[in-house]
Chain A
Amino acid sequence: MRRYFGRKLLVYGLTFLVAVTVNWMIPRFMPGDPVQSMLSRANVSQPAAVEAMRAHYTALFGLDLPLWQQYLNFWAALFRGDLGISIWVFPTPVTDLIMRAVPYTLALLIPSILLSWWAGNRFGAFAARRKWLDNTALPIGYVLTATPYMWLAILLAWGLGVVAGIFPVSGGYSFAMRPNWSWEFIGNLALHWFLPFASLFLVAFGGWAIGMRNMIIYELEADYSTYLASLGAPRRLIRRYAFRNAVLPQITGLALQLGVLVAGALVTEIVFSYPGLGHLILKAIQNQDFFLLQGAFLFIVVGVLIANFVIDIVYVLVDPRTRIGMGGEAT
């Protein structure tokens, strides 16, 4: 057990190291003077801001220091939670902007991931080896999973938002409102939340349903299923066992899909101008705000790593074989 988690943590640690290093390297090894090119790209009109930014960048990059020291300083700043100052909303610290955006992104991601995973698995298992459903519902699943997240988002926004006028299509809450804890505001939040959530949910749902359907077919053909059937066990029991075993690779699949799901959330937020990380990234790109972009990048990497670790723990809890393999004589 310790060895298993040790290995995992080593991989995650190294990944974080790689991510930070990439983040540090890219502006430095780009052709040209990073400070100058940033300032000219930033296109900020206030002279005070330009000067402040130049001073800030030069200090931050520490270009006169030897490379290894620049690298260490970069890490030190990171551990202080200092990701730099935003250019787009100068002079707000990047960390603050990200912290404001993260709750919105999580509010979209966590429910849509968990619900789509649960519902997709249920549905896929149900449809497998039932001819009629398999032939009608699964093509829909394929279309859903092949749909680019932003396109489904656009279609929903257009159909249910612009044309039908049921849901708002822009923002996290109405512009006329100030954030507060009233029911009215929460209802307004939920109304704005629904369409982005639904489009994320639908695309992911298709993928899980198909994955489970293909997985459970293998399990229903497995020796243990045949043996149970030979002993006259009802289909219900066989399917229950097959489902349980087919869910295991789906848990691994969840870890593998995290990156794609996060990417989906980013573009969906852009469609709906939903004030999460995706919206922030769009603004960062449009305003050439590289500190913000890099901060968001690191934040996403850390989030994905944490989620991966949580999934590892869940997997060990669910699959007895890993426990036994790791426990050695303990069991």
Chain B
Amino acid sequence: MTLSVRDLRVHYRTLRGEVKALDGVGFDVADGEILGLAGESGCGKTTLGKSLIRMDGRMRLAGGTAELDGEELPLGEDRRMNRFRFGKVSLIPQYSMSAMNPTRKIGKMVGELLASRGERLDLVELERRLDLVELPRDVLGRYPIELSGGMKQRMVMVISTLLDPSLLIADEITSALDVSTQKAVARTLVEFRDRGFVRSMIFITHDISLTYQIADTIMVMYAGKLAEKAPAGVIVSEPRHPYTRMLISSLPEVGVRHAERRLSGIPGRPPSLLDPPSGCRFRDRCPLAFERCAEEPPPVEVAPGHHVACWKA
């Protein structure tokens, strides 16, 4: 068991009060597993990714634990978390295009970053990885501005995985790319896993069809909670949660990209997380809702590795 998250609660401080962006989420990621994390925007998937590596200033850990390789991660404590970052948990951010310091040569920046973490730069290994992602070796002597968008993306992927982290979080890294580049990036991530550069991975995206291509397991979130989690094939072929079903059936065709907005196929909108309603949060939009949905459905393992939080499942 690489990662094991239990009852994780993370709140956002806003003017109007605390937004319960993550409200009790639990799951496991096994060795070598790629977990695809899907859901509408605002469902908490990005919050989940962030809280596992670095919370921003407005986030607050309200409860729950995360254990990586048997060690508990001090998620709420920025300083203590530093020890785990990069080496144990690493991140490929959404903003790869601007993730590198514009006024440092890339190689120098990497060297200084490693030195600051007390690591030595293994130039041979670094160059091997550059070859693997088809970046010329001389990028290390260039400034970020001299690289194309795709090159920056691959460079950041190489930097983030340089210390062979146990867990890699890839947060919406494909949303700015075109379809063919998306596929190439996805393939590279799988290859990174296969070569052992990363042990396991959480791949966050709103694009469930892309997730399906690389993930072993897919976890669907809704309004800060887990809706369904199952092996990728199962999610797509036999979804049990009504939300997942609608999500899958609203996909135009596999491979066609889905715009980041509320799903037009599902009427209604997710509830406000400022003061979430009791019971099942999908109730108001659910065609199958009945009296019992006023009670909150716990995630239940309906088949091996298949968890669903729905009374009808």
Contact = CB atoms under 8 A, between A and B. Distances in A.
B150 interface: no
B83 interface: yes
Interface residues of A, number: 24
A37 interface: no
Contact of A321 (B53, B81, B87, B145): B145
Contacts of A234: 82, 116
A237 B112 CA distance: 8
A251 to B, nearest CB: 12
B54 A230 contact: yes
A65 interface: no
Given A320-B143, A324-B143, A224 B102 contact: yes
A248 interface: yes
B252 to A, nearest CB: 32
A78 interface: no
A231 B113 CA distance: 9
Contacts of A245: 101-103
Contacts of A319: 103
B119 to A, nearest CB: 11
Interface in B46-75: 53-54, 56
In terms of DSSP, what is the predominant structure of the interface of chain B? loop
B93 A227 contact: yes
Residue from the set B81, B86, B156 with the largest chain A CB neighbour count within 10 Å: B86
Nearest to A320: B143
A244 B86 CA distance: 24
A35 to B, nearest CB: 58
Contact of B91 (A230, A244, A331): A230
B99 interface: yes
Interface string B71-101: 0000000000111111100110101001111
Most chain B CB inside 10 Å of its own CB: which residue of A231, A234, A241, A324: A231
B99 to A, nearest CB: 4
Interface in B111-130: 112-113, 116-117
A232 B86 contact: yes
A236 interface: yes
Nearest to A248: B103
B103 A244 contact: yes
B163 to A, nearest CB: 9
Interface in A52-107: none
B146 interface: yes
A166 interface: no
B217 interface: no
Interface string A199-224: 00000000000000000000000111
A43 interface: no
Contacts of B312: none
A226 interface: yes
Contact of A224 (B83, B98, B145): B98
A222 B101 CA distance: 9
B54 to A, nearest CB: 5
B104 A232 contact: no
B146 A223 contact: no
B113 A223 contact: no
Given A229-B54, A230-B91, A231-B91, A236 B116 contact: yes
A179 B287 CA distance: 98
B93 A223 contact: yes
Contacts of B113: 228, 231, 233, 237
Contacts of B105: 320
Nearest to B143: A320
A324 B146 contact: yes
A236 B102 CA distance: 18
A32 to B, nearest CB: 57
A224 to B, nearest CB: 5
Contacts of B91: 227, 230-231
A241 B101 contact: yes
B211 interface: no
B205 interface: no
A134 to B, nearest CB: 15
B160 interface: yes
A231 B160 contact: yes
Contacts of A233: 113, 116-117
A237 B56 CA distance: 19
Contacts of A229: 54
A227 B146 contact: no
Contacts of B84: 232
Contacts of A241: 101, 103-104
Contact of A223 (B54, B99, B103, B112): B99
B47 to A, nearest CB: 14
Interface string A225-261: 0111111111011000100110010000000000000
Nearest to A232: B85
Nearest to A241: B101
A234 B146 CA distance: 27
Contacts of A223: 93, 95, 98-99
A232 B82 contact: yes
Interface string A311-331: 000000001110011000001
Contacts of B102: 224, 245, 321
B295 to A, nearest CB: 39
14 contacts: A224-B99, A231-B85, A231-B91, A231-B160, A232-B82, A232-B87, A232-B117, A233-B116, A234-B82, A237-B112, A320-B103, A320-B105, A321-B103, A324-B143
- List the 10 closest A-B pairs by CB distance, nearest first: A232-B85, A223-B98, A227-B99, A231-B86, A232-B82, A223-B95, A237-B116, A224-B101, A230-B54, A232-B86
